[in-house]
Amino acid sequence: MHPTPSNVVPLESTLPSCQHHRSAHAGWRCTACEATLCPRCVVGRRAQTVLLVACAHCGDAAEPLLTHRARVPLTQRLRPAWRYVFSASGLQVLAGVSLTLTVLGWLTDMTILFLKPVSLVIYGSVFWATFYKLARESARGERELSPPDFHHFIEDGVVPGLRGVATFALPWIPAFIYATLRYPLLLEVFEGTTIHAARLARFASMALLDPLMWGLILLALVWLPAVLLLTAAGHSIDSLLNLPGTVRRMRRLGRDYVLFGAVLGALGGAHLLALGLATGLRWMDVFLVSRLLSEGLTLIVPFTAAHVLGLVLHTRGDALGHGLDHEYLEPVLGDTPPEQQAAPLHEDAPFSSASEGVSFVEVQTPMQRAASDALAALGAAVEARDLPLAMSLYAALRQQPQVRVPPAHHLFIGQAAAVEGNFPLAVHALESAADVAPEDPTAPRALVILARVLGERMQDAPRAEEVYRYVLHRYPDTAAARYARERVTTSSD
């Protein structure tokens, strides 16, 4: 067990109050006097892209208090989930995917028999690629929908499609095998692409009286949410067959797994209703319009389910081995800024007085003032591409962890140090570029460069592959992930 950092509030603990305003929640802790501070008790100053926060009482640096995302209950996060598809971006993606599936469905009906499987594979690939992409985006905390990216048709389309079909079908395989062996009539229900309703009704009347059949269906319904969660979390199909391991992971989720299953059940009922309405639309048979409307109607529930799946991973994914532990920590007060703000720091300007009559000079120690000046000088050196000066300033700032160096500066130093052959400095700077701002576009780029330094310059292939695999897991829909996928495949052959 790793010790809990002093600025992390355990999930089972109550949120601390401000030491000077007991009725207010604290959002920071002073690194010197260790007082817990509310927004009224801290002063912020913007230095380029960095927000420096200091204690308004002793002048030393203040670090934000963090807590696990699960402090906000999953029930609260799920309440607005129904709006997800009906946002502006949601309706755009819904329309685009519906049109694509409509054309693919029409081609499946019109094409010759032996080409129908090809159209069906493409149809399923588009659906499942979109489903898991929306789930991954929601797991990262994004609320805007974006269409699937098919730069590599096999990797971005066919593989997710086959994986989605396989994992969704997995829980139903025991029931299907039993029904096939127990009731040979089931094989007579399907004849080509035609379903014989009378035979299906006879099979259903017999199966509904079979208690073992009911047990296998119940097993599938309980197992299905786990399969969807673990697949979206990046687990292999082999691990899904490990039922004891799957049960352990689901027990870690506890009530949230039960809630997720119940929500999926409710969405399943809504989907059956949507399918009934879609059948009525198709019966109208207005060329492609009926098919387009019916496709859009039947996509609403799956897209909502993908969002719900992503919200579970966003809140409790660490219990399933999804991501790193520190990624599930968020500021206690969210985006609440300090109430006292000083004027932004310019490279050629000394500290000036803060708002509300509070001077930022009064809350800065000499060491902090020197660090802030060095940070501004580093920004000037990076802009001027002065490598020796930038690297020397960066080396000095490394010794002052309270200074927040912008991710772009970390990346610049990492690249420069790699060119100069200073690989330890390059590794530190590139890791820092990804750690200080994991959602910044520089993060996946820095990690790919880091992996190249480790593998190509330092001959540490195992560690390089770990970094590449993390890029695939953490940033799956980026150019960096596509590059990493090629490197991992090559190194694994």
Residue 312 reports pLDDT greater than 50:
yes
Instruction: Report the C-alpha gap between 119 and 111 in whole angstroms.
Output: 9
User: Looking at the predicted structure, is the pLDDT value of residue 223 above 60?
Assistant: yes
- Between CA 69 and CA 59 the distance in angstroms is 30
| C-alpha–C-alpha distance, residues 342 and 348, integer Å | 16
Average pLDDT over residues 166-177: 87
Per-residue pLDDT at 342: 65
DSSP string, 193-214: TEE-HHHHHHHHHHHTT-HHHH
DSSP 344: P
3-state secondary structure of 220: helix
- If pLDDT is split at 50, 70 and 90, which confidence band does 68 have? very high
pLDDT tier for residue 31 given thresholds of 50, 70 and 90: confident
Residues 33-40 have a mean pLDDT of 90
* Residues facing 62 on adjacent strands: 30
Tokens of 285: 């048979």
What mean pLDDT do residues 199-203 have? 68
- Judged on CB neighbours under 10 Å (0-12, 13-18, 19+), 312 is buried
Domain range annotation of the chain: 74-323
The answer to whether residue 302 scores a pLDDT higher than 90 is yes
pLDDT at 368 over 80: no
CA dihedral of residues 57, 58, 60, 65 (deg, nearest 10): -40
Global model pTM greater than 0.95: no
Q: Look at residue 423 in the predicted model and tell me its pLDDT.
A: 81
Region 340-348 average pLDDT: 55
> What is the layout of strands, in order, in the sheet containing 28-30?
36-37, 28-30, 62-64
Q: State yes or no: pLDDT of 105 exceeds 50.
A: yes
Task: Name the residue with higher pLDDT: 157 or 95.
Answer: 95
Mean pLDDT estimate for the chain: 80
Q: What is the pLDDT of residues 373-424, one digit of tens each?
A: 677 778 787 887 777 788 877 876 765 555 678 888 888 888 888 887 788 8
| Distances from the Cα of 192 to the Cα of 114, 166, 167, 187, 477, angstroms | 12, 21, 24, 11, 38
pLDDT at 199: 64
Distance CA 156, CA 144 (A): 20
Whether the per-residue pLDDT at 126 is higher than 80: the answer is yes
Residue 317 scores a pLDDT above 80: yes
Residue 36 pLDDT grade (very low, low, confident, very high; cuts 50, 70, 90): very high
Flag whether pLDDT at 211 surpasses 50.
yes
Percentage above 90 pLDDT, the chain: 19
In this predicted model, which residue has the larger pLDDT, 224 or 381? 224
Q: What does the pLDDT read at residue 314? A: 92
For 258-271, the pLDDT digits (tens) are 999 999 999 999 99
Region of poorest pLDDT, from 152-156, 360-364, 480-484: 360-364
Q: CA of 403: how far to CAs of 54, 66, 72, 106, 225, in Å? A: 11, 18, 30, 59, 44
Spacing of C-alpha 489 from chain mean position? 23
Least confident range of 214-223, 400-409, 445-454: 400-409
The pLDDT of residue 109: 74
Q: What is the pLDDT of residue 49?
A: 47
The model's confidence at residue 307, banded by pLDDT at 50, 70 and 90, is very high
| Average pLDDT rounded to a whole number, residues 335-340 | 85
Provide the pLDDT for residue 360.
40
Segment 235-254 shows an average pLDDT of: 85
Q: Convert the pLDDT of each residue in 245-292 to its tens digit.
A: 888 888 999 999 999 999 999 999 999 999 899 888 878 777 678 888
More confident residue, 196 or 183: 183
Does position 349 have pLDDT exceeding 60, yes or no?
no
Give the contacts of 205 (CB within 8 A, at least 6 positions apart): none
